[in-house]
Structure 1
């Protein structure tokens, strides 16, 4: 159940939004544009190498394939909006290969998500944000080093294989790179080991499943790549400071 990464690949009219409370998700990327809107609380958002702290009515406008992560600060109530580049085709073509120097917008009014019920209202809403972005921010060319391109390939492998036996050794074999090189590169780029990231990714996926499915805890653990339920519980508590059952019962 990957709810971020695959969006915007084949769905040309994708526009989906959902709410998350007290949530976090490690660095990832996808073709779809992503908006992170803060309804309440505080949220730390990292986009590329920049870190931002969002407060109520702040919105992060994340571009196609732009690396990002977010973490709750004490408490957060957010709405994620994912949409395909084709919905803002003119903007997408004009700014393809570019990113804003600052991805954060502060909105003067609360977003009425229930009012976005037609293709026209959705496009009007999105283009109004594009207008704010163009008027308030500068744009710079996307720069990707060889190391960044390799990192993207590693993260894509994790996305496709996290529910199975996913190891850095298997990544090295798949990408035809030396294991020591990939291990060092990953730590340099992500400030954590491959295993630490994989566990963070798996637990983040399990958090979503706990709040948005009727699967049992053991089924979720298995679907997220854990064959040992004790290991799942230990990693879950380490990351969230609570048990899976306690997390599922959160208001």
Structure 2
């Protein structure tokens, strides 16, 4: 089985499309396409992959990605269960890169927009007041037609370009090296890790799925993920740990084992390596933020 790693989201007669995507879970395929994409998660939770970036997502997640930047919003396991009654909903805008031509972006008036386009090559996560404004415009754009839709899109881009409420996602050195059936191979690896990260992850098993030796698999995986397989697995585990720390239902030792770590000391070490803070500091910081907001 082979799945194309490049998707085309627009026809030759379209400048952009708006989609209201509702389903039992988000598209589980690792993919990229030549269009810009603005995604707003209205309903659903899971793990977000953008280039070499891995992080959890939930309702309100707002991300802008540039052309040919691989991405995936992978719903939590519960959404794939047979009798699950949960649903997901995402509002997505795809628009052609020709809408923001180089000759246009070179003009002085478009300095901020040009910077936005440059940053989109790494993926951008927006938060705060920016997210609130964009949420309202997304709901409005669905009711517009013709050129008025273009105006709404430009208004959205203007807000994003003027915002300081964002984080860049992929690392500065990330380069999309996907070709051929890479997307399908990486999907199999991602699916294996997402399904088994709470227990033992086997490098040998992952390599076997791709009919590779462990040495060949490690050489294959690292340039495509921009990290080692071990680092990738730890990021998935720590991403899940972040969710559990914010829910405050488990103590840190329980969370460590729930996320697939056999030793609390290793969990603490890996958590700090990835987040620059200990699990205790992370929980305390975000619980304080939650308290101040409420």
TM-score, with length taken from structure 2: 0.46
Determine helix, strand or coil for the equivalent of 1:200. helix
Q: Are 1:236 and 2:263 matched, yes or no?
A: no
Give the distance between the partners of 2:65 and 2:226, measured in 1 at CA.
Answer: 24
Structure with more helix by fraction: 2
> Counterpart of 2:153?
131
Q: Are 1:218 and 2:222 matched, yes or no?
A: no
Cα 1:116/1:61, change in 2 over 3 Å: same
Q: What is the RMSD of the two structures over their aligned residues, measured on CA atoms? A: 5.0
| 1:16 alignment partner, one of 31, 43, 67 | 43
Q: Are 1:67 and 2:93 matched, yes or no?
A: no
Report if aligned partners of 2:54, 2:235 keep a CA contact under 8 Å in 1. no
Determine helix, strand or coil for the equivalent of 2:260. coil
- Structure whose alpha-carbon radius of gyration is higher: 2
Give the distance between the partners of 2:130 and 2:230, measured in 1 at CA.
Answer: 38
Residue 179 of structure 1 and its aligned partner are, at CA, apart by 2.3
Determine helix, strand or coil for the equivalent of 1:201. helix
Gaps of 5+ in 2: 1-23, 29-40, 56-60, 74-87, 97-116, 159-177, 290-294
Aligned residue pairs total 184
Q: Are 1:180 and 2:215 matched, yes or no?
A: yes
Determine helix, strand or coil for the equivalent of 2:256. helix
Give the distance between the partners of 2:157 and 2:281, measured in 1 at CA.
Answer: 45
Determine helix, strand or coil for the equivalent of 1:8. coil
Residue 165 of structure 1 and its aligned partner are, at CA, apart by 0.7
Report if aligned partners of 1:25, 1:201 keep a CA contact under 8 Å in 2. no
> Counterpart of 2:191?
156
Give the distance between the partners of 1:214 and 1:151, measured in 2 at CA.
Answer: 33
Cα 1:194/1:115, change in 2 over 3 Å: closer
Q: Are 1:35 and 2:53 matched, yes or no?
A: no
Gaps of 5+ in 1: 1-5, 19-23, 37-59, 70-81, 96-100, 137-142
Report if aligned partners of 2:237, 2:260 keep a CA contact under 8 Å in 1. yes
